[in-house]
A and B are shown apart, each in its own frame.
Chain A
């Protein structure tokens, strides 16, 4: 299991499009992806769960990847959030 903490920087937070991008990107990995933030544990492959998490701009989240391709998955996830999730 690997994890890293990042801050959400895209202005509107994890709403539909950024959440969809994140979930669909992470869906390509085999490992489990969990986002911890706002005192919740969120399935990182589910755009609905991510959106329902209400993660706004400036929120610190910890991304946890657990499974065979966890290192690559974590790096991809962290880069994605840092890049502003396409916004």
Chain B
């Protein structure tokens, strides 16, 4: 068994197809006929453009227009007048076409690879792709063609270049294994878009596996088995069959309303981390966004993002989600989220320190930039503002005051916004839970952030294995806290949602149905499964289970009870 990075979920069982890069070495030979050499380069370029255009077309059909644009980008880069000039100049000075292409690609590769912007560094990989394509054409070698693989292939490559991904036929490729790349690499994103299980960064995989070997790729666990034992293979076949069956069955819930077993309508929305995630949310049939973490805007930047930058990002999500609700959490800095240019002081106890709304209210001018951007974007969709880490009434009042100030400014400037924009609390501290009744009177909605609520209630760090038994949503203290927040919110007539992982926990869902949770915000791939589980519970059934759960004295008892009654 080999461990790598779990980049795309699912289990793939098939036959390894190890693709080794063609040998593109050459002898730099001077030539006497620049015109003939230039013509050789032109032909290589034309062939490259033709081939890439076909790839782009295939990709537009199999993955999506956005990804196909990457291949179109390759064509534009290869046909770039600057690049062509540089290559032709070298050829006219007597250099062989191979060397000219190699040198110029090197130059561009160096330029892109040295840039700070991660988006730009990705262009370095594109340049390599172009170099490989052009050189293979010049040398008369074939580039690995992944478009003609037999069915049930597991692609094993050192690095999955964008053009290789473009060739992948998802009907024939059941798994991907590479030696490089992480969860956020382009290969990973494409693999997820194609829904092909993928494990990346498996050292030496191209030498461990040989073409023809039976392979198992477990993209969820991040493991690869080369020539597994009969038992292992049987085991994975069963797992894969169960997964396939489940996935197929879940499709029945696509396009359906989210209702409990007795017909109560609920809102089932997605958690997202950046504007592009909105596409994934829609693909998985989300009914809106229950948590858009705005940190990405701040963490990916070198300085505070401007109002315009933020507005663009929020507007993008609002427009994509059309009339559906989009809850955006304001900056949750501090704790484990460090943003270098904000120069926050090192603290003894960062999770209990200067963070989130505390930092924001202490820097109102900075916070107002975000609030103004949110208000402006609210003219384009149903945007709601969510405040993290609230522990006192004063905090939510102060935020609302700032929102009012921003509204006034925008009105004076003649800029449109939604005057009735909702402002709510992300309930994630024991303090907020204990004053939930008063807090509800000041808020338009609650969304329970279980990840932090469990941590703060149990005084247990989620990352600390030694105390993992404490960090559980099934702890009676957490259960009571969640129940209280939902009930107080419902009493006040405001929407109560949950945006932590517990909202997608099949065991926990019946308790939430019983407590009266109105909105479930989960990761996009969990949407259909959550809709299914919700449909299986009536209020009466859920109440009966909740009554017993609340009598349990320990987390273990709660969990055992829920497991015994899971549907």
Closest residue to A52 on the B side, CB-wise?
B111
Whether A48 and B77, one on each chain, are in contact in the complex, defined by CB atoms closer than 8 angstroms, is yes
Whether A17 and B306, one on each chain, are in contact in the complex, defined by CB atoms closer than 8 angstroms, is no
Whether B76 and A24, one on each chain, are in contact in the complex, defined by CB atoms closer than 8 angstroms, is yes
Name A24-56 residues within 8 Å CB distance of B.
24, 27, 43, 45-49, 51-52, 54, 56
- B525 → A minimal CB distance (Å): 26
**A side interface size, CB within 8 A:** 26
> Which residues of chain B are near A48, meaning CB under 8 Å?
77, 80, 82-83, 108
Select A17's contact among B69, B81, B120, B309, beta carbons within 8 Å: B69
How many angstroms from the CA of A84 to the CA of B126 in the assembled complex?
24
> Which residues of chain B are near A45, meaning CB under 8 Å?
81-82
Interface size, B (range): 20 to 34
Whether B73 and A17, one on each chain, are in contact in the complex, defined by CB atoms closer than 8 angstroms, is yes
- A18 → B minimal CB distance (Å): 11
- B126 → A minimal CB distance (Å): 8
- B73 → A minimal CB distance (Å): 5
Whether A51 and B81, one on each chain, are in contact in the complex, defined by CB atoms closer than 8 angstroms, is no
- B65 → A minimal CB distance (Å): 12
> Which residues of chain B are near A54, meaning CB under 8 Å?
115-117, 120
Whether A16 and B80, one on each chain, are in contact in the complex, defined by CB atoms closer than 8 angstroms, is no
Q: Do A87 and B83 contact each other (CB < 8 Å), given the known contacts A20-B76, A47-B76, A51-B123?
A: no
Select A57's contact among B69, B80, B112, B309, beta carbons within 8 Å: B309
Q: Do A13 and B117 contact each other (CB < 8 Å), given the known contacts A49-B82, A52-B111?
A: yes
Whether B83 and A46, one on each chain, are in contact in the complex, defined by CB atoms closer than 8 angstroms, is yes
Whether B117 and A56, one on each chain, are in contact in the complex, defined by CB atoms closer than 8 angstroms, is yes
> Which residues of chain A are near B564, meaning CB under 8 Å?
none
Main secondary structure of the interface of A (DSSP, over half): loop
> Which residues of chain B are near A51, meaning CB under 8 Å?
112, 120, 123
Whether A46 and B80, one on each chain, are in contact in the complex, defined by CB atoms closer than 8 angstroms, is yes
How many angstroms from the CA of A46 to the CA of B140 in the assembled complex?
28
How many angstroms from the CA of A57 to the CA of B304 in the assembled complex?
12
Whether B108 and A52, one on each chain, are in contact in the complex, defined by CB atoms closer than 8 angstroms, is yes
Does B308 interact with chain A (Cβ within 8 Å)?
A: yes
Name B121-178 residues within 8 Å CB distance of A.
123, 126
Does A67 interact with chain B (Cβ within 8 Å)?
A: no
How many angstroms from the CA of A54 to the CA of B116 in the assembled complex?
9
Q: Do A43 and B81 contact each other (CB < 8 Å), given the known contacts A11-B312, A20-B73?
A: yes
Name B395-423 residues within 8 Å CB distance of A.
none
Whether A15 and B117, one on each chain, are in contact in the complex, defined by CB atoms closer than 8 angstroms, is yes
Whether B82 and A16, one on each chain, are in contact in the complex, defined by CB atoms closer than 8 angstroms, is no
How many angstroms from the CA of A73 to the CA of B80 in the assembled complex?
19
Select B306's contact among A13, A20, A58, beta carbons within 8 Å: A58
> Which residues of chain A are near B313, meaning CB under 8 Å?
11
> Which residues of chain A are near B115, meaning CB under 8 Å?
54
Does B119 interact with chain A (Cβ within 8 Å)?
A: yes
How many angstroms from the CA of A75 to the CA of B312 in the assembled complex?
24
> Which residues of chain B are near A27, meaning CB under 8 Å?
81
Does A12 interact with chain B (Cβ within 8 Å)?
A: yes
The 5 closest A-B pairs by CB, nearest first: A46-B82, A48-B80, A52-B111, A49-B82, A15-B119
